[in-house]
Amino acid sequence: MLKSSILATLLATALPLAALAQDKGADTVVATVNDTPITLGEMIVMKQAASQDPQMAELPDPALYEMMLDQLIQQTAVAEAGTQNAGVRAQLEIQRRNTLAASAIAEVAGTEPTDAEIQAGYDKLFAAAAPATEYSAAHILVDSQEKAAAIKAELDGGADFGTLAEQNSTGPSGPNKGDLGWFSADQMVKPFADAVAAMEKGQISDPVQTEFGWHVIKLNDTRMREAPKLDEVRDQVAQMVLRDKVQAEIQRLTDAATVEKVEGIDPALLNNTDLLENE
């Protein structure tokens, strides 16, 4: 009987405490500093920011609560000593608008793109793209036509391309035997791309001049670059769709706003920081 009585008392006490905890809202005052309230909502926002710090995230809630409350009390006490001049008011207003704007954008960015939107984004990027030729080539870059011609003569005589590239090429690919890896024509300057496109696999070109100097080029191989499968780029496409939706929402809200620019403001006033000191 005694145990049952104690249990009943504990349950009777716990229920009101639980109900009291549920009644707390973001505007609940947790402390005051010279009549300035500090709210539970401010504490929650501060905890969200603190959660990015691994050390803070490991603290138990009671310790974190006391630490954050002490910080907010100090901040509030010191803030009362601050001067509300034009510069401070401008900073506060910019922060207020930035916070509200971030909240509006978060609602758009927090919505996962639908399969239809992802498919449309993929089609926009890849569906109309024709297969493109990619080239694997190496080159030897020198500063004169005479040097290039001499190197071409050595290659025609049986010299090793990679060895001559290491010994003579002034380009960054020289230490790698002149290898340029795989590339498409639009990644190279036009004279170089035109020369490669006209070559056959294994062929070594005559000297080719570009803005970088004179090249002797060896075409190693070619291949067709196909559009990637949707599953391979789904995450990237989803990010692009979200980015486009955010930009579209920003533009929609801006277009819907009534904007009136004041004429006659001298841009040189941007340099007059003395204006910020005005009360």
pLDDT of residue 14: 45
| pLDDT of 48 strictly over 50 | yes
pLDDT in tens, 124-139: 888 767 778 999 999 9
Assess if residue 217 is contained within a domain. yes
| pLDDT of 269 strictly over 70 | yes
Assess if residue 260 is contained within a domain. no
Range of the domain at 41: 24-76
pLDDT of residue 50: 83
How confident is the model over 16-31, as a mean pLDDT?
71
Using pLDDT thresholds of 50, 70 and 90, give the confidence band for residue 3: very low
The span from the CA of 24 to the CA of 27, in Å, is: 8
Residues 136 and 72 in one domain: no
For residue 104, how many other CB atoms are within 10 A of its CB? 13
The closest alpha carbon to 216, from 198, 200, 201, 195, belongs to: 195
How confident is the model over 24-37, as a mean pLDDT?
93
Per the model's pLDDT, the better-predicted residue between 149 and 53 turns out to be 149
Query: What are the contacts of 232-235 at 24+ separation with CB within 8 A?
Result: 233/122, 233/125, 233/126, 234/118, 234/122
Residues 213 and 136 in one domain: yes
Lowest mean pLDDT among 24-33, 56-65, 86-95, 148-157: 56-65
Phi, psi (deg, nearest 5) at residue 96: -65, -50
CATH, residue 216: 3.10.50.40
Assess if residue 203 is contained within a domain. yes
| pLDDT of 19 strictly over 60 | no
Assess if residue 122 is contained within a domain. no
Assess if residue 249 is contained within a domain. no
pLDDT in tens, 148-207: 999 999 999 999 999 999 999 998 999 999 999 999 999 999 999 999 999 999 999 999
Whether the CB-CB separation of 132 and 187 falls below 8 Å is answered with no
For residue 29, how many other CB atoms are within 10 A of its CB? 10
Query: How many separate domains does the chain show?
Result: 2
Kindly state the tokens that stand for 267.
Answer: 């841009």
Among 60, 76, 92, the domain-final residue is 76
3-state helix, strand, coil split of the chain in percent (to 5) is 60, 15, 25
Residues 51 and 134 in one domain: no
Residue type, 231: D
Using pLDDT thresholds of 50, 70 and 90, give the confidence band for residue 75: very high
Residues 138 and 214 in one domain: yes
pLDDT of residue 22: 55
Using pLDDT thresholds of 50, 70 and 90, give the confidence band for residue 7: very low
Assess if residue 15 is contained within a domain. no
Using pLDDT thresholds of 50, 70 and 90, give the confidence band for residue 40: very high
CA–CA distances in Å: residue 123 to residues 230, 232, 240, 251: 9, 14, 12, 23
Residues 134 and 221 in one domain: yes
| pLDDT of 18 strictly over 50 | no
Average pLDDT of the chain to the nearest whole number: 89
For residue 50, how many other CB atoms are within 10 A of its CB? 16
